[in-house]
Amino acid sequence: MIDFYFNAAPNPMKVALFLEESGLVYRAKPLDTKLGQQHTPEFLSINPNAKLPALIDDGVSLFDSNAILLYLAEKTGTFLPQDAALRGPMLSWLFFVASGVGPYSGQAVHFQHFAVDKSPYAVKRYRFEARRHWQIIDDQLGKGRYMLGDDYTIVDMAVWGWAPRIPFMLDNDSAAGFTNIKGLMDELNERPAAQRALALPGQHPFKTEMDAAAIRFMYPQIFSDE
């Protein structure tokens, strides 16, 4: 049995999409980061990094969304490229989303919307880098139907998790300009699995208010002396 620890954020949503697409049986374990539930000893024993998603598969703990996607794809033999020669490119694109798209997008959101000290340079750097990374994704999608060509794979799921945040990290005009990304999103969002994944967070009463307590749990550096 799989236990899936999640909230509505981009990284957990990628894994929600895989679970729904694959038909794997799982127990949904909502974790409210605004209530500090990521810092409990019980959760830290699953993910020492105190972030979502995390997953336990028959007693084996996993964390980091793209590692989980790869693990589940290999476990089930699904949503991998058919052509063995595309395994290398799959790893490149998966790690590009994990180490580039996700972190730069996350920081672009943070410095514009949540930072206590407004730093024009940080905003400029992360907006620039987020836009540059998304342009690379858009260009890649201009070459084929999916990130790796003809097959819908875990790389598309990784992109799907983050792409809805483009208007929030850049703006609506930028999002509209990424026409190939929009095409992929429109196609995937039509899929029943994507609709079930998108509905999952709404079935749980997550805290929505970013009040002082939530800020303390999610951005502890604000209160650090370092």
Ligand X SMILES: N[C@@H](CCC(=O)N[C@@H](CS)C(=O)NCC(=O)O)C(=O)O
Q: Does 38 bind ligand X (CB under 6 A)?
A: yes
Among candidates 176, 156, 154, 158, which has minimal Cα distance to 167? 176
Q: How far is the CB of 179 from ligand X (least distance, A)?
A: 26
DSSP letter assigned to residue 45 = T
Q: Under rule CB under 6 A, which residues in 131-190 are in contact with ligand X?
A: none
Looking at 5-13, 22-30, 76-84, 124-132, which segment touches ligand X (CB under 6 A)? Answer: 5-13
Cα first-last separation, the chain: 42
Residue of the chain from 16, 33, 86, 146 that contacts ligand X (CB under 6 A): 33
Q: How far is the CB of 110 from ligand X (least distance, A)?
A: 10
Comparison of 31 and 86: residue with beta carbon closer to ligand X: 31
Q: How far is the CB of 40 from ligand X (least distance, A)?
A: 12
Comparison of 8 and 143: residue with beta carbon closer to ligand X: 8
CA separation (Å) from 145 to 24, 59, 77, 81, 180?
26, 37, 21, 13, 9
- Return the half-sphere exposure (C-beta side, CA atoms, 13 A cut-off) of residue 57: 11
Phi, psi angles (nearest 5°) of residue 117: -100, 120
| Radius of gyration in angstroms for the set of CA atoms belonging to the chain, rounded to a whole number | 17
Q: Under rule CB under 6 A, which residues in 90-109 are in contact with ligand X?
A: 98, 102
192 Cβ contact partners less than 8 Å away, ≥ 6 residues apart = none
Contact 189, 41 (CB under 8 A): no
Cα–Cα distance for residue pair 33/36, rounded to 1 Å: 5
**Total binding residues toward ligand X, as defined by CB under 6 A:** 14
Residue of the chain from 11, 37, 105, 153 that contacts ligand X (CB under 6 A): 11
Residue of the chain from 32, 64, 129, 187 that contacts ligand X (CB under 6 A): 64
Comparison of 99 and 179: residue with beta carbon closer to ligand X: 99
Residue of the chain from 29, 51, 131, 133 that contacts ligand X (CB under 6 A): 51
Binding residues for ligand X (CB under 6 A): 9-11, 33, 38, 51-53, 64-66, 98, 102, 218
